[in-house]
Structure 1
Amino acid sequence: MAEVKLIGAWFSPFSRRVEMALKLKGVEYEFIDEDLSNKSPLLLKYNPIHKKVPVLLHNGKPIAESSVIIEYIDETWEGPSILPKDPYERAMARFWVKFIDEKCLVAMWKACFSPGEEGEKAKEEAAQLLKFLEEEIKGKKFFGGENIGLVDIAANFIGYGFGILQELMGVELLTKEKYPNLYEWIDGYINHSFVKDFLPPKDKITEVFKAFAQPGYSGYKPKF
């Protein structure tokens, strides 16, 4: 059997993306929980460019960046398809993942943690960006159609972690009233029998977010 290891962090939504992909394919793996405030020689060795998780080791060969890893997993192992088979639909799935990573998550994170005018501007930007996802999910059970796919996995922070974060920070951005289609997706996503296994306890995630929110906090903080 091929040796598969995943260098990640238990609270990282990007690490969880990869874990979900491995589980969907039925791949056995070893999870190496990284202390991102004191990065290990192992992480620095296998991801010297970005120095961040996740990193997949397959027979000793490293693959970095969650979206790249997921495509590798989808192409390497048998099992349910994570990306669509149709070339156009595959291209669109990649587009939405890029949109989520480079636009939505950045604005949503800033909306919660940036002070004053910068925070208000980020809230407005995030609200506009979420409207695109609201329209994209309209009439669908999941972004992948009837089954969870690449975009659903990529949006896991929107589906779970962000609700905890905005409650903690007193931000009302993603609500049922403003985004009924997206909210319906969230409800179906977090209550899916497969997804439930990957949702960290709310109290543990809350403690992590509380640390990020402390004035003068200088430890690790995700850089969306």
Structure 2
Amino acid sequence: MILIGQFDSPFVRRVAMALRLYGLPFEHRPWSTFGDADKIAPYNPLRRVPTLVLDDGEVLIESTAILDHLDEVVGPSRAMIAENGPRRRETLKICALATGLGDKAVSLVYERLLHQEKSEVWMKRCETQIAAVLDALEADRAGRKTTFWFSDKIGHADVVVACVIRFTREAHAGVFDARRWPALAAHAERCEALPPFREIAQPFSAPRG
């Protein structure tokens, strides 16, 4: 398999983390959606990452869809999400909140760095959405006493929340306040201390338009 995209993207990183935790070998092509868009286009016309090229040439796009396939590959006994029922829905909700937060954090990067005339209304909206999601995630995580979100075993929710928090911290200084969201800060630190997180990491690099 070939994973396309840079690890400073929380979406690429969550896929790479699943591949590593599942023990699935992959080749990494750290192509940028800006500088390497023409390289990505033959695989993904949206020129977005993550893009995963399977061994038979099939191409998967969008991190949630990619993880759904990887879960099928390893089977329900190893998958980092429940196969069905309330626990699966709870996990998908946490993941959806985290990826939504990540989308808003990326949008804020583009607005601040790529637009000469910035929309203060849009930036304020993104910041409000980010804070509201962090509040919701904090309340949920603080109410759980397990090592990871739903158990003592790491799952997709743990990975994506940690990846998104790191991206937000690096891309937007001062937006994530560990004093306001201590449970999330502790969660992120616990995940980032694990060997796969230390191995699969890349400091955020601002895009240039």
TM-score, length-normalised on structure 1? 0.76
Q: Does 1:53 align with 2:59?
A: no
Deviation at 1:146, TM superposition (A): 1.4
Say whether the 8 Å CA contact 1:34–1:40 is kept in structure 2: no
Partners of 1:47 and 1:142 in 2: CA distance: 34
Deviation at 1:148, TM superposition (A): 1.8
From 26, 50, 67, give the equivalent of 1:29.
26
From 106, 126, 129, give the equivalent of 2:130.
126
Deviation at 1:33, TM superposition (A): 2.3
Deviation at 1:28, TM superposition (A): 1.2
Match of 1:83 in 2: 81
Match of 1:149 in 2: 155
Query: Any residues of structure 2 matched to 1:48-197 within 5 Å, and which?
Result: 48=45, 50-58=46-54, 59-77=56-74, 80-102=78-100, 104-109=101-106, 113=112, 116-138=120-142, 139=144, 140-167=146-173, 172-197=174-199
> Alignment length, in residue pairs?
197
Higher RCO structure (Cα 8 Å, ≥6 apart): 2
Deviation at 1:67, TM superposition (A): 0.9
Specify every segment of 5 or more residues in structure 1 that has no aligned partner in the other structure, as ranges: 219-224
Say whether the 8 Å CA contact 1:111–1:120 is kept in structure 2: no
Say whether the 8 Å CA contact 2:168–2:175 is kept in structure 1: no
Specify every segment of 5 or more residues in structure 2 that has no aligned partner in the other structure, as ranges: 113-117
Partners of 1:132 and 1:80 in 2: CA distance: 28
Q: 1:158-177 deviations in whole A, cap 9, x for unaligned?
A: 3322222232xxxx332122
Q: What RMSD, in angstroms, separates the aligned Cα atoms of the two structures?
A: 2.4
Deviation at 1:109, TM superposition (A): 4.3
% identity of equivalent residues: 19
Deviation at 1:16, TM superposition (A): 1.3
Q: 1:140-188 deviations in whole A, cap 9, x for unaligned?
A: 4322421221112222433322222232xxxx33212211111111121
Report the secondary structure of 2:37's partner residue.
coil
- Structure 2 counterpart of 1:118, which letter? W
